[in-house]
């Protein structure tokens, strides 16, 4: 590194035509990239959500999973006070529930925290968030804390959601 800086500083490499040609090409490439960026920004190329006057118009932007790996928070999560049994709901009419599963926030293989709503599932490793269950029909189930669950996810940006 020091030798290279010495050779550059002394002008030794500037006298080599190949080095001069390389520097000129890099400068031209940098200028070309800047010009392309300005043209894309001012002409609206690749920005089909706005018309030529800069007004918003109907568009179909590229899909972005805005929630991926963000921190989620829920007012009710299973297993926070110790192991709890829950049933898997299949959503299929007439299917049997799969009960006897344990949720325990203290056990990595049995926890189902809110952050599992935004992580990446694989075919061999499924994750999900699980609220407390009504399975036990506890008397405190009717408390407002357990009747409603609020899920909060900060996207860090403003998004316009259109139905």
Block means of pLDDT (10 residues each) for the chain, length 163 residues?
44 45 49 54 60 86 80 91 84 74 93 90 84 64 62 80 71
Tokens for 129, please give them: 């968030």
Could you tell me if 86 and 149 lie in one domain? Answer: yes
The label of the residue with tokens 């299973």 reads 78
Could you tell me if 35 and 82 lie in one domain? Answer: no
Could you tell me if 83 and 38 lie in one domain? Answer: no
pLDDT at 51 (0 to 100): 86
pLDDT at 45 (0 to 100): 47
pLDDT at 64 (0 to 100): 78
Report yes or no on 51 lying in a domain: no
Could you tell me if 35 and 80 lie in one domain? Answer: no
C-alpha of 61 from chain center: 17
pLDDT at 35 (0 to 100): 58
pLDDT at 98 (0 to 100): 77
Q: Burial, 81: exposed, middle or buried (Cβ in 10 Å; 0-12, 13-18, 19+)?
A: exposed
């Amino acid at each position: 590194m020091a030798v290279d800086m010495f050779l550059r500083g002394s002008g030794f490499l500037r006298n080599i035509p190949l080095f001069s040609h390389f520097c000129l090409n890099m400068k031209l490439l940098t200028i070309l990239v800047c010009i392309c960026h300005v043209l894309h920004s001012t002409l609206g190329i690749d920005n089909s959500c706005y018309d030529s006057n800069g007004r918003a118009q109907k568009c179909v932007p590229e899909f972005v999973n805005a929630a991926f790996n963000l921190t989620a928070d829920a007012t009710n999560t299973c297993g926070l006070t110790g192991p709890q049994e829950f049933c898997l709901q299949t959503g299929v009419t007439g299917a049997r529930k799969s009960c006897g599963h344990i949720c325990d926030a203290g056990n990595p293989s049995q926890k189902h925290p809110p952050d599992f709503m935004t992580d990446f599932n694989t075919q061999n490793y499924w994750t999900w968030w699980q609220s407390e269950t009504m399975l036990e029909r506890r008397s405190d189930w009717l408390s407002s804390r357990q009747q409603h669950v609020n899920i909060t996810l900060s996207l860090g940006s403003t998004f316009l959601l259109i139905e």
